[in-house]
Amino acid sequence: MAVVTEPRASASGHRENFPVLDQRVHGKPLVYLDNAATTQKPQMVLDAMNQFYQADNSNIHRGVHELSERATRHYEEARVKIQRFLNAADWREIIFVRGATEGINLVAYTYGRKHIGAGDEIVISAMEHHSNIVPWQILCEEKQAILRIAPINQRGELLLDEFEKLLGPRTKLVSVLHVSNALGTINPVAEIVRMAHRHGAPVFIDGAQAVAHMKVDVQALDCDFYALSGHKMFGPTGIGVLYGKAALLNKMPPYQGGGDMISSVTFAKTTYNELPYKFEAGTPNIAGTIGLGAAVDYINEIGLDRIEAYEHELLAYGTAQLERIPGLRLIGTAREKASVLSFVLEGVHPHDVGTILDREGVAVRTGNHCAQPVLEWLGVPATTRASIAFYNTKQDIDALVAGIGKVKEIFG
Amino acid sequence: MLEDLYQEVIIDHSKRPRNFHQMADATRRVEGYNPLCGDKLALFVKLDGDTVQDISFVGAGCAISTASASLMTETVKGKSRQEAVQMMERFHDLLTTEKPAAADLGKLKVFSGVREFPARVKCATLAWHTLKSALTNAEEVVSTE
């Protein structure tokens, strides 16, 4: 188990919990700064999944035998861990999905199809990830509804006044990200929820980029839906969570039909199961769910308060270091920011920056980060993005800065 | 090795691309797009019968794709369609196979270092895919995906 010490010291200690970080790439020590794409997995998560396959593997909710009971117990324990992690009022409000993307699609497909019609409006922000744009575009096309885009400023901050002006009697849903994967902006989601609720519109929050970096309390936020991806919070890929208020979920039609989501089936009439199972058709990702539960345990052991404080310090250090580099411009300079250092370097395309950094052992993402509209909005076709997690250190930032030095050397 | 990828000729052509302009009297205009990195280029070709009489491009992309487009325009100017397509095939071999074709690729050999960087092969071939389309079809967008 991880030993918790002071934030500054903790980073190097916790780093040892992540076996993948202990390697060299292209002969250089790996510096993993692509955490907004996916985070690494601690040994504890790997062990939990291994344990399931080695000792408990069985299907859930069906068997009368011991293994099935164990598997079911571990699976449902993970749900309660997530409920507490998000401070949801009830475990039935936690629905397991493949990831935040599926959570958004589930709501678009069920809530959206039922409650949104011709001329109705859905409001999103200009900095959304493609996953919080395209499902609504599909819905709007099908229903002749209208997608409204709330603008942002050059720092990458939502213009709350402009956002509020878009709200009205036709607004049937607001869907915004909590933290921007491309810019790092933290949206004022509590304020967004209050504004939307004044106009009677429910709010979906895409929390994929937030949950590994800050405490989220869905009851305090009073949001109607919240989605997350396990792999962005030290859990496995292929598992995520949709939180929804029970009152809304109960009124929504099922998403997919199949086993486990029904209470009885006859050819004349099928009765759907209760929450949350109504939305969990078929055998779920059991090992992934258990792995996600272990990731929650792991985060809790360290504490999101310390993670947030440490990362804030690291982000400030990284920002200061990068700002000193001539010709480098940070993209996304919101006052409230987490985890992301996105930048462009004068005269060098991000793809070239990424290749050279890779050869220096530094893993970053380059391109439009599945957020093409926001980069177009800010007038850059692509950026290089370094994104941190609590296991990163100032030395990692220094390696990034040295790598950028190498880029400038090559491109003269 | 990074030095094999970013050879002097490539850096030079990426910073000062040749034949980098629009062409009002082009007979073919085709766009190429690499969604992975957002590289976009528009290729202008003036065909005289079967010969690439003139060729130019505009666009924004990484050093590899820009240099590749630049060197391609220099290489295929004055060549026949068939020669250009054959050159594309040899160029592709240079980037993807261990034993590149012995045939003379001239300056294009500077791209041999790309072979060690599989993620960058699409950058180097975007202009060539676009050219192939220009020589076979009329107006369309070519994607490397």
Task: Using the predicted structure, report yes or no on whether residue B102 has a pLDDT greater than 80.
Answer: no
Interchain CB distance below 8 Å, B37 and A351:
yes
* Mean pLDDT for all residues in chain A: 95
- ipTM score for this prediction: 0.88
Task: Using the predicted structure, report yes or no on whether residue A31 has a pLDDT greater than 90.
Answer: yes
Location of structure tokens 């409920």: A83
Total number of domains in chain B: 1
Interchain CB distance below 8 Å, B63 and A352:
yes
Amino acid at A252: M
More confident residue, A320 or A62: A320
Best of A349, A356, A357, A411 to disrupt the B interface by mutation (most B CBs within 10 Å)?
A349
Task: Using the predicted structure, report yes or no on whether residue A298 has a pLDDT greater than 90.
Answer: yes
Q: What is the pLDDT of residue A104?
A: 98
Q: What is the pLDDT of residues A116-132, one digit of tens each?
A: 999 999 999 999 999 99
pTM over 0.90: yes
Q: Please tell me if the domain spanning A7-32+303-411 has the same topology as the one spanning A47-300.
A: no
Task: Using the predicted structure, report yes or no on whether residue A134 has a pLDDT greater than 70.
Answer: yes
Told to judge if A370 belongs to the known catalytic residues of this protein, a careful annotator would answer: yes
The percentage of residues in chain A with a pLDDT greater than 90, rounded to a whole number, is 88
DSSP string computed for B31-88: EEEETTTTEEEEEEEEEETTEEEEEEEEEE--HHHHHHHHHHHHHHTT-BHHHHHHHH
- Checking DSSP bridges between strand A146-150 and strand A28-29, what pairing results, if any? unpaired
B119 touches chain A (CB under 8 A): yes
Rounded to 5°, angle at Cα A316 from A315 and A319: 85
Q: What is the pLDDT of residue B100?
A: 58
A403 touches chain B (CB under 8 A): no
B144: Cα within 13 Å, side-chain hemisphere: 23
DSSP SS3 for A94: strand
φ, ψ of residue A63 in degrees (nearest 5): -70, 155
Q: What is the pLDDT of residue A369?
A: 85
Nearest to A367 among B15, B37, B63 (CB): B37
- B12 burial via Cβ count (<10 Å: 0-12, 13-18, 19+): middle
Task: Using the predicted structure, report yes or no on whether residue B141 has a pLDDT greater than 70.
Answer: no
Instruction: Give the pLDDT mean for A386-394.
Output: 97
Q: Where are the domains of chain A?
A: 7-32+303-411, 47-300
With beta carbons less than 8 A apart as the criterion, state whether A282 and A259 touch: yes
Which residues of chain B lie closer than 8 angstroms to A380, CB-CB?
Answer: none
B116 touches chain A (CB under 8 A): no
CA distance linking residue A378 with residue A334, whole number of Å: 13
The token duo for A157 is 């901050």
Location of structure tokens 């002071």: A6
Q: Structural domain of residue B37, as residue ranges?
A: 2-143
DSSP SS3 for A31: strand
Instruction: Give the pLDDT mean for B120-136.
Output: 93
With beta carbons less than 8 A apart as the criterion, state whether A294 and A44 touch: yes
A411 touches chain B (CB under 8 A): yes
DSSP SS3 for A363: strand
CA distance linking residue A29 with residue A22, whole number of Å: 8
**CATH code for the domain in which residue B107 is found:** 3.90.1010.10
Catalytic choice (A370, A398, A406, A411): A370
Q: What is the pLDDT of residue A5?
A: 42
Provide the b/e sequence for A264-273 (b: ≥16 CB within 10 Å).
eeeeeeeebb
User: Among the CATH numbers 3.90.1150.10, 3.30.420.40, 3.30.10.20, 3.40.50.2300, which is that of A7-32+303-411?
Assistant: 3.90.1150.10
Which residues of chain A lie closer than 8 angstroms to B60, CB-CB?
Answer: 381
The percentage of residues in chain B with a pLDDT greater than 70, rounded to a whole number, is 90
Task: Using the predicted structure, report yes or no on whether residue B49 has a pLDDT greater than 60.
Answer: yes
Minimal Cα–Cα distance from B22 to chain A, Å? 21
Is CATH 3.40.640.10 correct for A47-300? yes
Question: Pick from A359, A346, A343, A324: which is nearest to A411 by CA?
Answer: A346
B61 touches chain A (CB under 8 A): yes
Q: What is the pLDDT of residue B69?
A: 97
Task: Using the predicted structure, report yes or no on whether residue A3 has a pLDDT greater than 70.
Answer: no
Q: What region, left, alpha or beta, does residue B78 occupy, with left being phi > 0 and alpha being psi -120 to 50 degrees?
A: left
B121 touches chain A (CB under 8 A): no
